[in-house]
């Protein structure tokens, strides 16, 4: 190795190490060489598309996703002793999303770049070409459909595929076999899609973490690694503010209200984001409430009525019996009492008012259902009792001593309760002396002075009845 070649090689390796990050360039330890990982520049809204006949797990559908990053093209190289004066670097070119035919075309173009720059260092030019011109050189546009073929299949298709590239560098390889330096480093199409999505997600996260953002809650400027964004709207807030916001909502039981704090924004935090920010015990409460609210929306799910159980129970169609899988309690899914077969559901006294109102406002179909559920006699009794109660409230007063309803048809305002035989004033409902009950009406200081025979009309106005 000449001193000029050795110096040129060392200078090139040092230059690459200063230009690229450690995850983009790694120098080999034992030989003059290394590995470069080139991320191809993608246009905005670049789509990856996979037809249903190529997917292994998707049926009757077409998988398509938008990506900002694709897994890098890996260029492994080693310098011969007479590089760059005479020989080019020895290299392999591998990719997960380019076929061997496409990589073969790129290998040929790297060879051409060397021929054009023979005697000069060439790695930086190779890397710039792969980064900036790969898509244009291979005529790749969005949506791009990656393909994986066996060796024999690619040998048959190489001429047809390279002809589609429409470039002179690729056309020169039409009659040749696949280049041994071209490696498609992926096992299957399903693995490829998974790796593309994982890499794109990781790179987006890396870019997000390295930028500065202003939290619209505390108005502080923080690194993306200290922030979180909502998936749908991409609104960014610092983790400290979102943690407080999530905790308050979960403690209040509002697990469906973990939306983006931006006014009128419908984006909702994912369970993974909630788990990242709140403590384990609070997340368990969130998870439980979220499951319960989801079950509540299911028409065929009821809960075991035992307070100590509350296990969700699947309700069989056209059946009012539920059996708890945890405590084996058999109950009526309508009234939540012990299962009573074809007998009507029992209704408590405090529920009679609600039942009566529901029955009066219901249509004919609902009325028939209520009659079957509670029994026609029970509903009729509820209606009668409510009518009786309303009549008593309108036409009677309760005894101030025992509460018995008393109706006054005529006579003076000194009343005697038919139940407890106590005297009271009909006007002020005050108690009267047993020895002299009329003193209340003769005492000038009494509010009912001279009103023994005064009657009250329904509208609340008083009129005097003549003493006879």
Residues known to be catalytic: 412
Can you tell me the distance from the alpha carbon of 78 to that of 27, in angstroms, rounded to the nearest whole number?
Answer: 10
Cβ–Cβ < 8 Å for 61, 81:
no
What is the DSSP-derived secondary structure letter of residue 22?
T
Identify the residue whose tokens are 């029955």.
359
Q: Report, in angstroms and rounded to the nearest whole number, the Rg of the chain calculated over CA atoms.
A: 43
What is the DSSP-derived secondary structure letter of residue 33?
E
Cβ–Cβ < 8 Å for 246, 271:
no
223 strand-pairing partners: 212
- Pairing mode, strands 33-38 and 73-78: antiparallel
In degrees, to the nearest 5, what angle opens at C-alpha 45 toward C-alphas 39 and 46?
50
Q: Name the burial class of residue 312, with classes exposed (0-12), middle (13-18) and buried (19+) by CB atoms within 10 angstroms of its CB.
A: middle
Can you tell me the distance from the alpha carbon of 292 to that of 286, in angstroms, rounded to the nearest whole number?
Answer: 10
Can you tell me the distance from the alpha carbon of 123 to that of 117, in angstroms, rounded to the nearest whole number?
Answer: 11
Residue 460 has phi, psi (to 5 degrees) of 95, -5
Nearest to residue 50, comparing CAs of 97, 95, 104?
Answer: 97
Can you tell me the distance from the alpha carbon of 291 to that of 222, in angstroms, rounded to the nearest whole number?
Answer: 34
Residue 249 Cα distances to 98, 226, 245, 267, angstroms = 48, 21, 6, 15
Q: Sheet holding 73-78: strands in order across? A: 25-27, 33-38, 73-78, 90-95, 182-184
User: What region, left, alpha or beta, does residue 387 occupy, with left being phi > 0 and alpha being psi -120 to 50 degrees?
Assistant: alpha
Q: CB under 8 Å to 94, separation ≥6 — which residues?
A: 73, 74, 76, 103, 182, 183, 184, 185
Can you tell me the distance from the alpha carbon of 257 to that of 246, in angstroms, rounded to the nearest whole number?
Answer: 9
Compute CA 87 distance to the chain's CA centroid, rounded to the nearest angstrom. Answer: 58
Can you tell me the distance from the alpha carbon of 26 to that of 18, in angstroms, rounded to the nearest whole number?
Answer: 11
């Amino acid at each position: 190795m000449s001193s000029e070649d050795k110096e040129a090689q060392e200078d090139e390796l040092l230059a690459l190490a200063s230009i690229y990050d450690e995850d983009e360039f790694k120098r080999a330890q034992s030989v003059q060489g290394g590995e470069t990982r080139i991320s191809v520049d993608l246009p905005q809204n670049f789509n990856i598309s996979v037809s249903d006949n190529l997917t292994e797990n998707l049926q009757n559908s077409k998988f398509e996703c938008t990506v900002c990053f694709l897994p890098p093209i890996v260029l492994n190289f080693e310098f011969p002793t007479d590089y760059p004066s005479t020989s080019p670097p020895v290299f392999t070119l591998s990719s997960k999303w380019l076929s061997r035919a496409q990589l073969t075309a790129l290998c040929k173009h790297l060879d051409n770049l060397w021929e054009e720059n023979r005697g000069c260092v060439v790695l930086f030019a190779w890397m710039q070409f792969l980064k900036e011109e790969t898509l244009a050189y291979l005529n790749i546009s969005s949506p791009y459909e990656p393909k994986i073929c066996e060796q024999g299949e690619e040998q048959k298709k190489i001429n047809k595929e390279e002809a589609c590239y429409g470039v002179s560098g690729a056309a020169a390889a039409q009659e040749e076999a696949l280049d041994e330096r071209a490696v498609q480093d992926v096992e299957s199409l399903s693995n490829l899609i998974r790796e593309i999505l994982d890499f794109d997600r990781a790179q987006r996260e890396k870019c997000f973490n390295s930028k500065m953002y202003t939290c619209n809650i505390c108005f502080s400027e923080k690194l993306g690694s200290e922030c979180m964004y909502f998936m749908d709207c991409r609104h960014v807030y610092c983790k400290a503010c979102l943690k407080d916001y999530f905790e308050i909502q979960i403690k209040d039981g509002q697990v469906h209200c973990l939306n983006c704090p931006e006014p009128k924004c419908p984006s909702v935090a994912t369970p993974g984001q909630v788990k990242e920010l709140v403590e384990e015990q609070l997340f368990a409460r969130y998870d439980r409430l979220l499951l319960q609210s989801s079950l509540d929306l299911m028409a065929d799910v009821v809960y075991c009525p035992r307070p100590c159980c509350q296990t969700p129970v699947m309700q069989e169609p056209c059946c009012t019996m539920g059996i708890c899988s945890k405590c084996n309690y058999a109950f009526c899914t309508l009234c939540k009492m012990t299962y009573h077969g074809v007998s009507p559901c029992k209704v408590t006294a405090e529920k009679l008012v609600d039942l009566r109102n529901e029955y009066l406002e219901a249509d004919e179909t609902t009325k028939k259902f209520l009659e079957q559920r509670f029994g026609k006699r029970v509903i009729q009794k509820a209606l009668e009792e409510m009518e009786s109660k309303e009549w008593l409230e309108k036409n009677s007063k309760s005894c101030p001593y025992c509460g018995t309803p008393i109706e006054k048809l005529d006579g003076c305002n000194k009343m005697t309760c038919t139940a407890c035989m106590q005297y009271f004033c009909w006007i002020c409902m005050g108690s009267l002396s047993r020895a002299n009950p009329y003193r209340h009406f003769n005492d000038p200081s009494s509010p009912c002075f001279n009103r023994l025979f005064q009657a009250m009309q329904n509208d609340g106005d008083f009129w005097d009845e003549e003493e006879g």
